[in-house]
Structure 1
Amino acid sequence: MVVHSINHVQLPFPAGAEGQIRNFYNSLLGLPEVRLQAGSALRFVAGTQRIDLVPTEQWQPVPAVSHLAFEVQDLPALRGRLLQAQLPLVENRALPGYLRFYVKDPAGNQLEFLEPDLDQ
């Protein structure tokens, strides 16, 4: 047996925040939504992987140390969209060889966005 990739990750969000979650992942991040007939989870595609967001009645924020990291192309454009949406970015955690920042989604899930720094 060989594990060769991650199929999907699942993150919680407070029930009733579907509109905010859809706007963030689809409109701001540009991830296509996959609509399935069964269930109330929201599903988005990132490359060959999927991000499932599940509404939770007893929602509690995930600890800050937990996060999902996305490797992206054109990090400055994404940064600009998120800043234009007035989302606070954390940009003080250098990683040699990469440009990166962190942002929280509307449910408080911490997300990391990084891109290889080709100028180094």
Structure 2
Amino acid sequence: MVRIVGIEHVQLAMPPGGEAAARGFYTGLLGLPEVPKPPVLAARGGCWFEASGVKVHLGVEADFRPAQKAHPALLVDDLAGMIAALTAAGVAVVPDEPIEGRARCFVSDPFGNRIELMQG
């Protein structure tokens, strides 16, 4: 039987011209390094952020609407520290009930896309 064995990356949308805001949030606040997009895709705009075990790609969508329900859940090693840093930067953090013993919260990226953060 053929089966799914993992997720290679998560793709989120952003509006045209949002690369600087994406870098400020995903690299500056979440700590995900930006990696170069392949040349064939770079002309389309957007940004790729990748670290060990996580890949978040943002692509430009001309008729952009944020994902307010669908979302990636990113594991962090210090949720309290991440919440403090995000709050200090003016990012609204919405706490939620733990699931399976994991503390978690929700934030929105600069474009309104929902992001779940969970204590790994």
Which residue is equivalent to 2:112? 108
**1:45 aligns to what?**
50
Tell me the equivalent position of 2:98.
Answer: 95
2:62 equivalent to 1:57: yes
Match of 1:21 in 2: 22
TM-score by length of structure 1 reads: 0.87
Do structure 1's residue 78 and structure 2's residue 78 form an aligned pair? no
Residues of 2 paired with 1:104 and 1:46: CA distance?
20
SS at match of 2:98: coil
2:29–2:85 Cα contact (<8 Å) kept: yes
- What letter is aligned with 1:14? P
| 4+ long deviations beyond 3 Å | none
Q: How many residues align?
A: 114
Amino acid at match of 1:42: C
Per-residue CA shift, 1:64-117, capped at 9, x if unaligned?
A: 2211101110111111110011111101x212412111000011110011115x
In the aligned structure 2, how far is the partner of 1:101 from the partner of 1:48? Answer: 20
| Structure 1 counterpart of 2:97, one-letter code | A
Moved more, 21-30 or 44-53: 44-53
How many Å separate the matches in 2 of 1:66 and 1:9?
A: 11
Q: SS of 1:80's equivalent?
A: helix
1:48, CA displacement in angstroms?
Answer: 2.6
Q: CA deviation at 1:49?
A: 3.2
**Residues 19 and 46 of structure 2 are in contact (CA less than 8 Å); yes or no, is this contact kept in structure 1?**
no
CA RMSD of aligned residues (A): 1.4
Amino acid in the other structure paired with 1:103: V
